Amino acid sequence: MKILVIGSGGREHALCWKISQSKKVKEIFCAPGNGGTSELAKNIDIAANDVDGLLEFALKEKIDLTVVGPEEPLTLGIVDRFKEKGLKIFGPGKKASQLEASKKFSKEIMNKYNIPTAKYKSFTDFKAAKEALKEFNLPLVIKADGLCLGKGVFICQTYSHAEKVLKDILEDRCFGDEGEKIIIEGFLKGIEASLLCFVSGDKIIPMESAKDYKKIEEGDEGLNTGGVGVYSPNEVVTKELEEEIKNGILKNISRALREEDLQYEGILFIGFMIDGKDTNILEFNVRFGDPETQSILLRLRSDLVDILLKTIDKSLEEEDLIWDERASVCVVTTSLGYPLKYEKGFGIDGLDDLDESIIVFHNGTKYVDNKLKTNGGRVLTVSALGKDINVAREKVYEELKKVSYKNIYYRGDVAKIN
C-alpha cells in the first residue's frame, strides 16, 4: 500500500514509524514532514492546510490510505474532499470536526447528551459576557470558540483579569473571527487524563490512557504549550474508571455521534479532568494528540495499518488492539523561549550515542546539508518503555544527558509521581 501521512510533528513521525512496521506498506509519504519522517517516508513539500495540493498529490500518486495528523485540514474539510474523489482517508469530516473547532458546538453536544462537563455560558457580546462573569466563582475559565492555535483558553483568578480577556477577544479581536464567540465556564479541579479512542461510525474503542504535561515549567508553572512530556498509562484511569467511562460517557457520546449525524472514521481524543469520583470532560479533539501519540503507539503491539483499515470498514473490535504491558515515558525537548519566541537552526548532537532502547521522535527538526538542525519550538520527543513508569523515566532522563543543541530546554519532572 501507499500511505500518505499529513503533518510535520512528533505525532506524524510516530505515525510514520508505526505504519512503517506494517507488512502491508510499500511506500510512505509525509506532507510536509520533518527530519525524522524523512528517515522513514518521502517528505513532500505540501503544507498540511493545502487541501487542494494534497488532493492533487493523492490522486496523482494513487494513495491507498491518507492519515491526517493536525486539526486544521480536518476543519477545512479534507476528509469530505478526499471521499468525494473515492480516496480512502482516516479522520472526521468537516461537520464532526466542529467537536474540536468550536467550543460552543462541543459544549452544546455535551449538555444535550448528558456528557459531564463544566457548566458554561456562551456569548458574542462583550457587555453581556462581562455582566455574566459574577455568575461564576473564581477561578473561572474563558475560552475563545475557535482553534486559536491552542492559545484561546484563559484561567482567570480575578474578575478584572477576566474582563480584560473578554475585551481582548470580543472587542479588540485578538483572535480575529476565531474569537467571534466565547464561552465562560466553571473551573474544574483534579488530574487531567487523555483518552484517545478509535471512532468507527458510532462505535468508540478507547486506547490506553496517557498523561500530558501542558505547562512549560516544572511543577506545572508557566505558559501552556502543545505538550512537553507524557506518559502512559495514566494511573488515575484505573480499570474500574475505564469500565465506568465505557459504560457511561462513551455510550452517550456514541448516541450523540449517531443522532447528530457526526459519525466518522478517525480519532476522538477526550481530555478528562478527574477528581476522585468526579469525572468531567474538558474538551474533545478529533485527531491524534501530540505527544500522546508517541507514548501510546510505543505501547501498541498490533499492526496500526490493520487497525486504521478496520476502523474505516467498520470491522474494528476491541480485541484488535493489543497493548504492551510496559509503561512509556516521553520527554519533549524544546527551544528555549517556546511557547513564545525562540531561535532555530542549531545543530543537534548525541542522537547516535543513545542506547538502543531509546526511541526519538522528531517534532521540529530538519536536515540541512545532511546535518540535523532544530526547526521548531518543540524539537524531539525522547522516549522509552520500562517495566513501570519509574524505570522508563530514569532511562529517558539518563540518556537525555547525551543530547545537545544550542538553547535546549526540557522539564525535569515528567512522570515524576509521588
Residues near ligand GLY (CB under 6 A) are 212, 226-227, 285, 289-290, 292
CB of 34 to ligand AMP, least distance (A): 24
CA neighbor of 414 nearest in space, from 241, 271, 294, 239: 294
List the single partner that 292 binds among ligand GLY, ligand AMP, none, CB under 5 to 8 Å by kind.
ligand GLY
Separation of first and last alpha carbons in the chain? 46
Q: Is 341 exposed, middle or buried (0-12, 13-18, 19+ CB in 10 A)?
A: exposed
Cα separation of 22 and 85, whole Å? Answer: 26
CB of 332 to ligand AMP, least distance (A): 16
Number of residues lying near ligand AMP (CB under 6 A): 12
x/- track of binding to ligand AMP for residues 374-413 (CB under 6 A)? ----------------------------------------
Contact 336, 8 (CB under 8 A): no
CA neighbor of 197 nearest in space, from 99, 331, 94, 88: 99
Question: Bridge-partner residues for 284, per DSSP?
Answer: 270
**Of 79, 110, 141, 256, which one interacts with ligand AMP (CB under 6 A)?**
141
Contact 39, 63 (CB under 8 A): no
**Of 28, 74, 118, 142, which one interacts with ligand AMP (CB under 6 A)?**
118
Stretch that binds ligand AMP, among 37-45, 69-77, 127-135, 182-190 (CB under 6 A): 182-190
Q: How far is CA 339 from the centre of its chain?
A: 16
- 3-state SS class at 131: helix
CB of 309 to ligand AMP, least distance (A): 30
Confirm or reject binding of residue 187 to ligand AMP (CB under 6 A): yes
Q: Pick between residue 233 and residue 289 the one whose CB is nearest to ligand GLY.
A: 289
**Of 184, 188, 199, 308, which one interacts with ligand AMP (CB under 6 A)?**
188
Q: What cell was used for 69?
A: 495528523
Confirm or reject binding of residue 153 to ligand AMP (CB under 6 A): yes
Residues 264-303 that bind ligand AMP (CB under 6 A): 271, 282-283
Q: Strands, DSSP E only, in 131-247?
A: 140-144, 153-156, 182-186, 191-201, 203-212, 215-217, 221-224, 229-232
Confirm or reject binding of residue 214 to ligand AMP (CB under 6 A): yes
Binding site for ligand AMP (CB under 6 A): 118, 141, 153, 155, 185, 187-188, 192, 214, 271, 282-283
